[in-house]
Amino acid sequence: MNREEILAAAQRQLNHDPRSSLADIATAAGIGRATLHRHFASRETLLEEIGTRSQDRWEQRLDDVDVEVVAASGDAAAIEAALRDLLAAFVEDADDFGFSLTDSFIAGEPEHVERTERLFAREVALYAAAQEAGVLRGDVSARWLGHAAYGLLVAAREAIRAGDVPRRDVAELVITTYLRGGQSR
């Protein structure tokens, strides 16, 4: 098993049980603890790598929708389409990277904090453009809209885990809740 496969197995295990020990993670990966330690000297090293992978995916998703170009366009339809695509991708990623959304160790590492702020600023620029284009409400800060999107991702992850929402429905639920709130249709 290579490093990427071990990381994927670790993420799945930590998504299932965030308190998993390295022994639990090794078992889930189908390897011995010594093999896991050859790749990751400590649980913290493993968590740092998972945090980096999560941020890499976040950055890729922002690049995929070309947030800066779309935001600068001012085109309401293009901005809404980018928001829909971005939120759908984030929902997909929340399933893979859900653990890193809420882990306090990852969130507290200085290099992760700095990179998170840079990535969040890119995302918030899209929300601000959506406000200017009339796609999103303008009576709250764009940063609040970013935090609200994050909250919906955590809620989606937890709803799937609890069996409250079918996995096939969750992306559309997040998108429509984000764009329309809880208003009646």
Question: Hey, what domains does the chain have and what are their CATH numbers?
Answer: 1-41 (1.10.10), 47-180 (1.10.357)
Distance, in Å, from the CA atom of 50 to the CA atom of 17, rounded to the nearest integer, reads 15
Distance, in Å, from the CA atom of 40 to the CA atom of 52, rounded to the nearest integer, reads 14
Neighbours of 21 (CB within 10 A): 12
pLDDT for 185 = 54
pLDDT for 15 = 83
Mean pLDDT taken over the chain: 91
Q: How far, CA to CA in Å, does 93 sit from each of 34, 56, 80?
A: 29, 11, 20
Listed residue (52, 50, 2, 43) closest to 20, CA to CA: 43
pLDDT tens, N- to C-terminus, the chain (185 residues) = 888 899 989 988 988 888 899 999 999 999 999 999 999 999 889 988 988 888 999 999 999 999 999 999 999 999 999 999 999 999 988 877 777 767 777 777 788 889 989 999 999 999 999 999 999 999 999 999 999 999 999 899 889 889 999 999 999 999 999 999 866 55
